[in-house]
Structure 1
Amino acid sequence: MQNTCTTVWNNSLQTIKANIPNQSYRTWFEPISALKLEGNVLTVQVPSLFFYEWLEEHYVGLLRKTVKQQLGEEGRLEYNIIVDKSSNSGSPYTTKMPSNGNAAASNPQSPAVPSAAAGKDIRNPFVIPGAKRMNVDPQLNSNYTLENYVEGDCNRLARSAGFAVAAKPGATSFNPLMIYGAVGLGKTHLAQAIGNEIKRTHPEKLVIFVSCEKFCQQFVESLKNNTINDFVNFYQAMDVIIMDDVHNFAGKEKTQDIFFHIFNHLHQSGKQIIITSDKAPKDLSGLEERLLSRFKWGLSADLQIPDLETRIAILKKKMYADGIDLPSEVVEYVAHNIDNNIRELEGAMVSLLAQSTLNKKDIDLPLAKSMLKNFIKNTSKEVSMDFIQKLVCEYFEVPVNLVNSPTRKREVVQARQISMYLSKSMTKSSLKSIGAYHGGRDHSTVIYACQTVNDLMGTDKKFKGYVNDIQKKLQMN
């Protein structure tokens, strides 16, 4: 049967999926679609030039090998790249590139638009009424930088997009850039870090960071003072606007309407828009459909709960910045037990250091457990799948990457099934999320694993001893 482009690409994806972490696969390969197959040349479409560059930098070897497996030694991969998503364009601009590491793309730039602030006296809503007018303060926290924003699988796409936007604000397909995720995962940090990087590399740019709540208050004030034109002109004069927590627009129809017009003006003028939210655009409620549709124009990048390694890296980064040193077992203990969000993780570390300073004692593991007992009890009601999987793998001396791989070796399958069973019984995670965490498997695999472990515990005393021993170790931590 003759191969089709979809068949070849789907077969390639199976190989790719087995060789990289599941999060990386979802981030960088699921958005790709197969377009055509001509002879030994497979053409796929990627969402942006940045996407293409990332693939060529990090996965070019794997892609070449995989495509050659499907199409033979002469097999080649070409990209169809959406370079520009302009609001007034009938169809996306595309270009084709071979996967040879030497390709270059032309990215049509938006025409230069003079800043509306130049030569114009516009009232700044950030200035207290009656006070002397001043240059635009970007309202950014200088402590938030891309360098001190620790990268992990949980945030790699958003952080990488941030670098791209900071390098060419308004000139990438990531406009708007929407960063979304639960409370305490670093949305505001990342958004402000992008703003700070833009100010560092493009000092001439007018950048403003504003919370949605503050924007709404300013709008109400402008209505009261009959200065609505000044309010609109100020924001339309910006080169970069960073709006934090846009989910707070819910139910505020007039404010949504004014932001809709500001958004359109900035986007059509080639200015950069960065927004944060606690949910993806499709899950936001109380917002007008026309505004939601614009949020979807660019890139929506989610921030997830960081894995154990990333949490440890965050703590070590904070320790380095504060000029302190703690035993590795203390750092690992905190990272193991506090996995709700980054804010609570750093809060626990601050609390620990404060207690150490007040008591004038060095922090060791017993003291850390004693000091953080109540904090951890309130913030970490369940062990994490990450911790369960790591402990199971250590117990059976099986590498974590093998547990998440397709291998069917008996000792690996046993560790995988016990890890799934304990994740089901000791966390609130869904079957789907447990399966996804264990190498991208489906919920039926998790059900089968739990049933197998239950059956073996009822018939094999040695096996039951293994499971009980691991459960005790988990409960002790």
Structure 2
Amino acid sequence: MGETAQSVWVKCLSFIQDNITPQAYKTWFEPIKAVKLTDNALSIQVPSKFFYEWLEEHYVKLLKVSLTRELGDNAKLVYVIRMENTYGNKQPFTEKIPSSQRTRISSQDIDSPLRNKSPELKNPFIIPGIRNVKIDSQLNPNYSFDNFLEGDSNRLARNAGMAVSNKPGGTSFNPLLVFGGVGLGKTHLAHSIGVEVKDKYPEKTVLYISAEKFTQQYIESVKKNNRNDFIHFYQIIDVLIVDDIQLLSGKAGTQDVFFHIFNHLHQNGKQVILTSDKAPVDMQDIEQRLLSRFKWGLSAELQHPDFETRVSIIKNKLYRDGVEMPEDIVEFLANNIKTNIRELEGAIISLIAHSSFNKKNITIELAKKIVQNYVKHTKKEVSIEYIQKVVSDYFQMDVETLQSKTRKRHIVQARQLAMFFAKKLTKASLASIGTQIGKRDHATVLHACKTVNNLSTTDKQFKKFVEDLDKKLTL
């Protein structure tokens, strides 16, 4: 037939170009490269996972029709996600099969080291304690050091992460605890360390897991009476990454089992990496013996990125997604979304999407509209400490009075309101809320929430308290 990947793709593009707007074509099809043609399978290279997902969601039918015209009914399409970068020759990549074609592409069509990646965590109880069992690391290859940009706000954490990935278990950063607010890159950094370890030491067993999933697995193991198998499974891991460790708060059984696993791994020179939304000193309802172990290694904070770092993050994101944006708009975004990198990236995606859908150029007016919507719809994370201060100020008392044992009605009501808003606006457990608001137990918090709900419907004055405080806390 004499066809090459390039010649087939040129014909497909000619058909596609006739069926979509020039701007959509420029944004979503020009950056694609045809890389391989094997029988009826065409491999195309796209610059990012977001790009691949966008094509799948919006242009999958168009791609299918164009490909079938060129290669017949058995046409297959394989995506290669390759992030070009300016950080040396490393080019992390994975290959994706579009959902519409998935059943028709055999495994040998895909020449990818990440073929076994599964979104589901494999059951850890199948072959307990056997060293050569293949464990899916649960890592996201799109999170790498290459796209985790360094700035003053993250330098210590990033450099410590790189040191750990060069020598897992062999540095004094064990455990490495990365902590900081929402959307500052804790999960990204944790995955980056794992991805780098797998790259340098393919024989090492790496596992990324959320503390929530770990707890679910533990509860399941107790139900099935195989707690020991659960422990054995985790003891064979070389690099264990646990995300959101603060979620073990108040869960005594899970903390106990994690304590034993942690000790075994640490004593055997294995690496433990933890992330948390707060420093160890601020963690509530975590056993002292566990907290002391969290402090053995290094606790590194991720802070809010400065202006220069935010500009770099935006430019890097645009570069990876193959989109150009005027400098003044980049600076406008960086100036207006300051506290959360996830929001920053979300605003960029919204801007690209609006521009593409509405066939409009990216202008400063459009950017203002997006930022306004974005910031308006983003709920601010508040701490229990802050809630207590706002409630105390509102009722003109100090926090000590709010937390005191007194049964005076107006103080009891203020305390109950603080508990109600702590449950509503934070992810803390009832036990944790009780501990922080005057050392009460979880039953007291539950009772407080019910009382507030009841009074809100029967007492007009009390309803006003709730509405006023809600405005103050969610503004």
Q: TM-score range by the shorter chain?
A: 0.5 to 0.7
Task: Encode CA deviations 1:364-413: one digit per residue, 9 max, x unaligned.
Answer: 212222343322345599xxxxxxxxxxxxxxxxxxxxxxxxxxxxxxxx
1:172 is aligned to 2:171 = yes
- Equivalent positions of 1:404-419 (< 5 A) are none
Alpha-carbon distance in 1 for matches of 2:121, 2:357:
40
| Pair 260,380 (structure 1): closer, same or farther in 2 beyond 3 Å | closer
Alpha-carbon distance in 2 for matches of 1:240, 1:371:
40
RMSD over aligned CA atoms reads: 2.0
Alpha-carbon distance in 2 for matches of 1:233, 1:131:
11
Q: Secondary structure of the residue that 1:372 maps to in structure 2?
A: helix
Task: Specify the code of the residue in structure 2 equivalent to 1:213.
Answer: E
- Equivalent positions of 1:237-316 (< 5 A) are 237-316=236-315
| Alignment match, 2:42 | none
Task: Specify the code of the residue in structure 2 equivalent to 1:323.
Answer: G
Alpha-carbon distance in 2 for matches of 1:353, 1:375:
14
Task: Encode CA deviations 1:254-309: one digit per residue, 9 max, x unaligned.
Answer: 11000000000000000000000011111100100000000000000000011111
Q: Secondary structure of the residue that 2:147 maps to in structure 1?
A: coil
Alpha-carbon distance in 1 for matches of 2:353, 2:261:
45
Task: Specify the code of the residue in structure 2 equivalent to 1:173.
Answer: S
Q: Contact conserved, 1:337 with 1:380, CA < 8 A, in 2?
A: no
| Alignment match, 1:336 | 335
Q: Secondary structure of the residue that 1:231 maps to in structure 2?
A: helix
Q: Contact conserved, 1:340 with 1:380, CA < 8 A, in 2?
A: no
Task: Encode CA deviations 1:79-115: one digit per residue, 9 max, x unaligned.
Answer: xxxxxxxxxxxxxxxxxxxxxxxxxxxxxxxxxxxxx
Alpha-carbon distance in 1 for matches of 2:125, 2:310:
47
Q: Secondary structure of the residue that 2:148 maps to in structure 1?
A: coil
| Alignment match, 1:433 | none
1:320 is aligned to 2:319 = yes
Alpha-carbon distance in 2 for matches of 1:129, 1:270:
22
Alpha-carbon distance in 2 for matches of 1:146, 1:357:
30
1:127 is aligned to 2:122 = yes
| Alignment match, 1:192 | 191
Task: Specify the code of the residue in structure 2 equivalent to 1:231.
Answer: F
| Alignment match, 2:373 | 374
- Equivalent positions of 1:339-418 (< 5 A) are 339-379=338-378
Task: Specify the code of the residue in structure 2 equivalent to 1:154.
Answer: S
Task: Specify the code of the residue in structure 1 equivalent to 2:163.
Answer: A
Alpha-carbon distance in 2 for matches of 1:347, 1:132:
41
Q: Contact conserved, 1:338 with 1:379, CA < 8 A, in 2?
A: no
Q: Secondary structure of the residue that 2:301 maps to in structure 1?
A: strand
Alpha-carbon distance in 2 for matches of 1:379, 1:312:
21
| Alignment match, 2:79 | none
Structure 1 residue 135, shift from structure 2 partner: 1.4
Task: Specify the code of the residue in structure 2 equivalent to 1:211.
Answer: S
Alpha-carbon distance in 2 for matches of 1:131, 1:263:
22
Alpha-carbon distance in 2 for matches of 1:333, 1:380:
21
| Pair 135,335 (structure 1): closer, same or farther in 2 beyond 3 Å | same
Paired residues in the alignment total 257
Q: Contact conserved, 1:339 with 1:380, CA < 8 A, in 2?
A: no
| Alignment match, 1:141 | 140
Alpha-carbon distance in 2 for matches of 1:323, 1:261:
47
Structure 1 residue 131, shift from structure 2 partner: 8.5
Alpha-carbon distance in 1 for matches of 2:192, 2:263:
24
Structure 1 residue 158, shift from structure 2 partner: 0.3
| Pair 132,255 (structure 1): closer, same or farther in 2 beyond 3 Å | closer
1:223 is aligned to 2:218 = no
1:208 is aligned to 2:207 = yes
Task: Specify the code of the residue in structure 1 equivalent to 2:368.
Answer: K
Alpha-carbon distance in 2 for matches of 1:269, 1:131:
23
Q: Secondary structure of the residue that 2:250 maps to in structure 1?
A: coil
| Alignment match, 1:411 | none
- Equivalent positions of 1:39-54 (< 5 A) are none
Structure 1 residue 314, shift from structure 2 partner: 0.5
Q: Contact conserved, 1:175 with 1:297, CA < 8 A, in 2?
A: yes
Q: Contact conserved, 1:212 with 1:244, CA < 8 A, in 2?
A: yes
Structure 1 residue 357, shift from structure 2 partner: 0.5
Task: Specify the code of the residue in structure 2 equivalent to 1:265.
Answer: H
Structure 2 portions without partners, runs of 5+ = 1-119, 381-475
Task: Specify the code of the residue in structure 2 equivalent to 1:244.
Answer: D
Structure 1 residue 132, shift from structure 2 partner: 10
Q: Secondary structure of the residue that 1:259 maps to in structure 2?
A: helix
Task: Encode CA deviations 1:418-467: one digit per residue, 9 max, x unaligned.
Answer: xxxxxxxxxxxxxxxxxxxxxxxxxxxxxxxxxxxxxxxxxxxxxxxxxx
Alpha-carbon distance in 2 for matches of 1:349, 1:268:
45
Q: Contact conserved, 1:187 with 1:303, CA < 8 A, in 2?
A: yes
Q: Secondary structure of the residue that 1:360 maps to in structure 2?
A: coil
Task: Specify the code of the residue in structure 2 equivalent to 1:221.
Answer: E
Task: Encode CA deviations 1:144-180: one digit per residue, 9 max, x unaligned.
Answer: 0011101100000000001100000000000000000
Q: Contact conserved, 2:125 with 2:229, CA < 8 A, in 1?
A: no
Alpha-carbon distance in 1 for matches of 2:324, 2:292:
48
365-374 or 204-213: which moved more? 365-374
Structure 1 portions without partners, runs of 5+ = 1-124, 382-477
Task: Encode CA deviations 1:30-65: one digit per residue, 9 max, x unaligned.
Answer: xxxxxxxxxxxxxxxxxxxxxxxxxxxxxxxxxxxx
Q: Give the TM-score taking structure 2 as reference length.
A: 0.52
Alpha-carbon distance in 2 for matches of 1:127, 1:368:
43
Alpha-carbon distance in 2 for matches of 1:126, 1:227:
18
| Alignment match, 1:115 | none
Structure 1 residue 186, shift from structure 2 partner: 0.5
Q: Contact conserved, 2:122 with 2:135, CA < 8 A, in 1?
A: no
Q: Contact conserved, 2:122 with 2:136, CA < 8 A, in 1?
A: no
